[in-house]
A = this chain, B = another copy of it.
């Protein structure tokens, strides 16, 4: 079985995007009580988006199941108000729930959280509980910077986040560390903010001691961990200079990296330095990069090919990356 642990709902019906635009427009115009009841989308509209895109690519690439969450850039925690963020997040999670009900064999849900800059993460707990206990989701996306590349909230190791981590541990789910859009003109979202945030989150964890307080907490850092595998010597060396005996003991029981790295030399570098048990297969299709690589004739984001081809892992490790590691990290996943 091959499980892709990182897919977003990027083929949502037009009505859903329009609802969000209307919501944000109404917030701008004045007081507004947003409501997800106003969204009207048929199952056929959902099938049209998924069936012609993610499902088709799953089948043609030989993937069995995708762990599926709302569009990452669409989360937009920094937009609107805390109230609109909550309603939009609920609606987005409901839509994921509809997708997994239509395709229970092919998709399993991960929720977005109704974060908002400056608002304590503990306020996300009711929606997290609803997503896991009522909608059957198996994980959450956690935005380390709900301000949208302004980085105004505390680092992931701050006690600011602790009540949410307690609930995450209690629910026995992992969190994928995933930012959303950028309102800072310095940071392009998929080309800079995502990759910089992945790297930054890892370094926050390195200098902190979060997993002493939460030994069962599990984080997935997407996009191959940003720059981390490429600079693995730097991180080993920085840790060593700080008196941390080994990154393995300090972080690698709790931190995992996905394989959203869109070329063979990147995956080769990653599989050379990161233990196979810490690597989770993922493609993020259909996502940031949609074209066909002229150097290979295949989609850049067809990452299964790079895992298949890399000489740095055994077949047993390949099976771990494609299936077993994901089952270990997402214990609520039933296949």
266-308 of chain A: CB within 8 A of chain B = 266, 268-270, 272-273, 288-291, 293, 300-301
A234 at the interface (CB under 8 A from B): yes
| List of B residues within 8 angstroms of A301 by Cβ | 237
195-217 of chain A: CB within 8 A of chain B = 195-197, 199-200, 203-204, 206-207
A185 B155 Cβ-Cβ under 8 A: yes
B233 A224 Cβ-Cβ under 8 A: no
Q: Contacts A155-B186, A238-B191, A269-B265; is A230 near B230 (CB within 8 Å)?
A: yes
A194 to chain B, nearest CB (A): 9
| List of B residues within 8 angstroms of A269 by Cβ | 230, 265-266, 268-269
A191 B235 Cβ-Cβ under 8 A: yes
A16 to chain B, nearest CB (A): 23
Partner of A223, one of B155, B231, B241: B231
Mark interface residues in A287-331 (1 if CB within 8 Å of B CB, else 0). 011110100000011000000000000000000000000000000
Interface size on A, residues (CB 8 A): 59
| List of B residues within 8 angstroms of A226 by Cβ | 195, 199, 227
Q: Contacts A151-B184, A185-B155; is A231 near B262 (CB within 8 Å)?
A: yes
A236 at the interface (CB under 8 A from B): yes
A190 at the interface (CB under 8 A from B): yes
A118 at the interface (CB under 8 A from B): no
A102, B269: Cα distance in complex, Å: 42
A301, B240: Cα distance in complex, Å: 13
A2 at the interface (CB under 8 A from B): no
Partner of A151, one of B187, B224, B264, B288: B187
B262 A273 Cβ-Cβ under 8 A: no
Chain B residue with minimal CB distance to A226?
B227
Chain B residue with minimal CB distance to A240?
B291
A293 B233 Cβ-Cβ under 8 A: yes
A203, B185: Cα distance in complex, Å: 11
A149 at the interface (CB under 8 A from B): yes
A186, B152: Cα distance in complex, Å: 8
Q: Which of A151, A192, A204, A264 has the most CB of B within 10 A?
A: A192
Q: Contacts A186-B200, A227-B230; is A262 near B289 (CB within 8 Å)?
A: no
A91, B273: Cα distance in complex, Å: 42
A72 to chain B, nearest CB (A): 14
A300 B236 Cβ-Cβ under 8 A: yes
| List of B residues within 8 angstroms of A151 by Cβ | 149-151, 184, 186-187
Partner of A289, one of B154, B230, B237, B272: B237
Partner of A231, one of B144, B224, B231, B240: B224
Q: Which of A224, A234, A241, A270 has the most CB of B within 10 A?
A: A234
Q: Give me the 5 closest cross-chain CB pairs, A-B, nearest first.
A: A233-B263, A227-B227, A237-B289, A230-B230, A233-B262
